[in-house]
Structure 1
Amino acid sequence: MSSPFAPLFAHIARYVPLSAAEADTLQTYLTRQTIARKEHLLTEGQICPANYFVLRGCLRTYLATEKGNEQTIQFGIEDWWLTDYASLDTQTPSQFYIQAVENTEVVVLDRRVQEEVFSRLPQLERYFRLLLQKSTAAALFRIKFIFSLSGEARYHHFNSTFPGFVQRVPQYMLASYLGFTPEFLSKIRAKVSHT
């Protein structure tokens, strides 16, 4: 039987074992949600209700600066989880937005059932711990690159690490994520296309 959650189960299986019976159990706690391009899953001031696994599409987390600009913090594409853990765990208002960059479909693991899921399927605690470790390491590397590499070097590193992704994201969002202006990104791309 093909499950609507098959991509998630395949992702989990890369980290921890999950039997067919356990996958059936997990499936009873999950829902799917479709988000139209530019629609928000979360807005600043809301309490984050869930953890989201991207089945197809692209999400981004961003914040609004004092000047009213959008600063992109992270992206989530197929096979990635995205949430605001600070808001989710403490049940306090989020300081971030989560928005669909493309028409997106996600698996939703609601906070209200999460502890019961971990109680019934304890290996999922290990799964999420391993993902958080990878995510934390990636965030630290991103901070290192922002402080230690030139803007041009950051673009080339991102482009070589995530080929194809650069074409999926609007230029202003990518520039914001990499820490520079869209105009600077245009100059880098123009230089690349002339070499």
Structure 2
Amino acid sequence: MKIQPLLDYMSKYISLTDHEVTLLKSKLVYRKYLKGQFILQQGDVCKYACFVVSGCTKTFHVDEQGLEHIIMFSIEDWWTSDMGSFITQTPADFNVQCLENTELIMFSYDTIEELYRQIPKLERFFRQIIERAFVASQKRIIRSFSLSAKERFLYFRNQYPKIEQRIPQYMIASYLGITKEFLSKIKSQLIIEQ
């Protein structure tokens, strides 16, 4: 199991003993997915909180008209799942699909409470991760109604430079809430402005 990327990530928040690392390893699931595979499908209950070791995923909702609304991309050292479904163990509002071959370290819902008891500092770690995700979500909502499409694209490009080259333009457009044609127009304008 390639656990080192997760341990490196966790070390920014907490320090684990060798015994705690061994215990953690015994409870984790390591899994490889192929490009196009679903980690979670809308309507299923989310059983895992997933840390991305390698690869790229998209989290999206499909509405009643069949339109896809992307809310998040996840790459190395990021987390992916439907946290609402995971926490409440109710049907997921979102799909999580691999855009590349992806390797994940997965914390199952069934073992996470047990891990909290055995390694109490993990509860603090996950609280901090969820707080950061909540703040990022709130800021994204504000940007969606206060910035122009061009400003949202520039923010995306500056904030996530490693993602833009890895995903199709129509997915970036979906994430920004615009059409792919409008995104092409914005990119053309930016080239002219340079």
- The bucket for the TM-score relative to the shorter chain is over 0.9
- Picking from 176, 180, 183, the partner of 1:182 is 180
Partner of 2:133: 135
> What does residue 104 of structure 2 align with?
106
Inter-partner Cα distance in structure 1 for 2:12 and 2:47: 26
- 1:150-188 residue CA offsets vs partner (Å, 9 max, x unmatched): 000000011111113111111111111111111111111
Matches of 1:28 and 1:104, distance apart in 2: 21
CA–CA distance in 1 between the matches of 2:89 and 2:163?
A: 32
The answer for unaligned runs of 5 or more in structure 1 is none
Q: Does 1:31 align with 2:29?
A: yes
Deviation at 1:132, TM superposition (A): 0.9
Residues of 2 paired with 1:122 and 1:164: CA distance? 34
1:64 counterpart residue number = 62
Q: Which residue of 2 aligns with 1:22?
A: 20
Q: Distance in 2 between matches of 1:87 and 1:163?
A: 29
Q: Distance in 2 between matches of 1:189 and 1:18?
A: 46
Give the drift of 1:4. 1.8
Q: Give runs of ≥4 in structure 1 deviating > 6 Å.
A: none
Secondary structure at the aligned position of 1:28 is classed as helix
Question: How far apart in 2 are the matches of 1:148 and 1:103?
Answer: 35
Per the normalisation by structure 2, the TM-score is 0.96
Aligned-pair identity in percent equals 38
Report how many aligned residue pairs link the two structures.
193
For normalisation by structure 1, the TM-score amounts to 0.95
- Aligned to 2:44, the other structure's residue is in SS state coil
CA deviations over 1:37-93 (Å, ceiling 9, x no partner): 111011111111111000001111100012211000111111111111221122211
- Deviation, structure 1 residue 17: 1.1
Kindly provide the amino acid, as one letter, of the partner of residue 159 in structure 2.
Answer: T
The alignment yields a C-alpha RMSD, in angstroms, of 1.1
> Aligned AA for 1:111?
Y
**How far off its partner does 1:10 sit?**
0.8
